[in-house]
């Protein structure tokens, strides 16, 4: 499949062109490198074809603030958390500056903090009021609580690998609660997203189950629609376990995801003490690093072998 494509129609009745919005996941491989470039090229093509008139990008550095104090003996001060969150957005923008400046489609970038502070046009509720409602739903509605917990449960190990490298003082249960708070804030922010004036919200895959629940419960009749898109599949190759590596991939994030799933499963099998948790996670992380390094060496050696063979012909 060349490039990227929308899996759903972006045509709007009685409107010549649409406004598209996407939310950036800072740790998603699907929104970096060639995957991200393919998406932006798709958006520009749609602008030239006059099916899209504007792209809104929401950056999420401020959302990551939930994790900044994890693994630390003393929580960070609010000012330092703010600075780290702003820095994440700035780093992302600096990396994307060249490609974003080259876009033909008009672009609006909204930070997560500005999004939460944005006046809402829906039901005259502030973000804080809607967030309290979502927290109440989590406490009282069994189905929603189950969806949030299940989603957080599958996410927590990956976040541990990302945010607790080299930190010995973290509690997995505390981490799990932080992920729940993160997910609830994401759900509550849907109200703000509906107030940004976009016609479509898009992401590389479908809405998360908790977000889909909130969407259908509170915003089913709103005009914003969800449109999926897909890019070229990542290059994954499975090899026999008798070889030196268990799996091969050109995307390190996929190695981390595979390892995260195993770590999450293993930690649920026994009662692990905190030092045991840390030691086990660090060991898996080191294994992933070793596997990726071996894969690079193997690919380099294979490349040299091919070149030598061609020269000898």
Q: What pLDDT does 249 receive? A: 38
pLDDT, mean over the chain: 79
In terms of domains, do 127 and 10 share one?
yes
Picking from 183, 215, 233, the residue at the C-terminal end of a domain is 233
In terms of domains, do 197 and 292 share one?
no
pLDDT digits (tens, 9 = 90+) for 108-138: 999 999 999 998 877 778 999 999 999 999 9
Higher pLDDT, 237 or 183: 183
Of 155-169, 196-210, 219-233, 297-311, the one with minimum mean pLDDT is: 297-311
What DSSP element (H or E) covers 48? helix 33-48
Query: Using CA atoms, how far apart are residues 110 and 118, in angstroms rounded to an integer?
Result: 10
Contacting residues for 305 by C-beta, under 8 A, at least 6 apart: none
pLDDT digits (tens, 9 = 90+) for 176-186: 888 999 999 99
**Count of alpha carbons within 13 angstroms of residue 165, beta-carbon side:** 9
In terms of domains, do 106 and 240 share one?
no
Query: Using CA atoms, how far apart are residues 36 and 207, in angstroms rounded to an integer?
Result: 18
Taking residues 209-235, what's their average pLDDT?
85
Higher pLDDT, 259 or 7: 7
Domain limits at 278?
Answer: 235-313
First to last CA, the chain: 34
In terms of domains, do 160 and 285 share one?
no
In terms of domains, do 120 and 268 share one?
no
Task: Please check the confidence at residue 234 and state whether its pLDDT lies above 90.
Answer: no
β-bridge partners, 249: 236
Q: What pLDDT does 237 receive? A: 38
Query: Which percentage of the chain shows pLDDT scores above 90?
Result: 40
In terms of domains, do 65 and 90 share one?
yes
Picking from 213, 233, 253, the residue at the C-terminal end of a domain is 233
In terms of domains, do 27 and 131 share one?
yes
In terms of domains, do 210 and 254 share one?
no
In terms of domains, do 217 and 264 share one?
no
Q: What is the domain count for the chain?
A: 2
| pTM of the model as a whole | 0.72
Q: What pLDDT does 201 receive? A: 96
Query: Using CA atoms, how far apart are residues 109 and 47, in angstroms rounded to an integer?
Result: 17
Sheet strands (E) in the chain = 5-6, 18-23, 52-59, 107-111, 200-203, 225-230, 236-237, 248-249
Domain CATH code at residue 57: 3.40.50.11710
Picking from 233, 250, 266, the residue at the C-terminal end of a domain is 233
In terms of domains, do 199 and 103 share one?
yes
In terms of domains, do 189 and 148 share one?
yes
In terms of domains, do 159 and 301 share one?
no
């Amino acid at each position: 499949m060349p490039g990227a494509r929308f899996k759903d129609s972006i045509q709007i009745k009685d409107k010549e062109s649409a406004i598209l919005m996407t939310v950036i996941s800072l740790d998603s491989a699907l929104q970096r490198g060639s995957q991200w470039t393919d998406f932006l090229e798709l958006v520009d093509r749609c602008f030239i074809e006059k099916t899209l008139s504007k792209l809104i990008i929401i950056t999420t550095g401020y959302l990551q603030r939930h994790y900044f104090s994890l693994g630390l003996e003393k929580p960070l001060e609010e000012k330092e958390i703010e600075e780290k969150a702003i820095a994440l957005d700035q780093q992302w923008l600096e990396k994307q500056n060249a490609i974003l400046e080259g876009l033909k489609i008009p672009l609006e970038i909204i930070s997560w903090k500005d999004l939460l502070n944005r006046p809402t046009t829906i039901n005259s509720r502030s973000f804080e009021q809607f967030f309290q409602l979502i927290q109440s739903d989590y406490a009282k509605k069994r189905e929603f609580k189950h969806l949030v917990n299940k989603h957080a449960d599958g996410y927590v190990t990956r976040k541990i690998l990302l945010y607790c490298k080299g930190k010995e003082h973290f509690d997995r249960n505390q981490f799990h609660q932080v992920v729940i708070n993160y997910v609830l804030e994401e759900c509550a922010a849907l109200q703000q997203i509906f107030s940004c004036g976009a016609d479509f919200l898009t992401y590389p895959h479908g809405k998360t189950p908790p977000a889909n629940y909130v969407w259908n419960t509170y915003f089913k009749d709103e005009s914003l629609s969800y449109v999926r898109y897909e890019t070229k599949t990542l290059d994954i190759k499975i090899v026999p376990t008798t070889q030196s590596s268990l799996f091969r991939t050109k995307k390190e994030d996929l190695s981390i995801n595979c390892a995260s799933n195993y770590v999450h499963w293993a930690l649920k099998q026994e009662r692990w003490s905190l030092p045991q948790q840390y030691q086990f996670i660090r060991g898996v992380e080191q294994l992933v690093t070793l596997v990726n390094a071996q894969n690079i060496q193997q690919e380099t050696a294979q490349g040299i072998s091919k070149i030598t063979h061609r020269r000898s012909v």
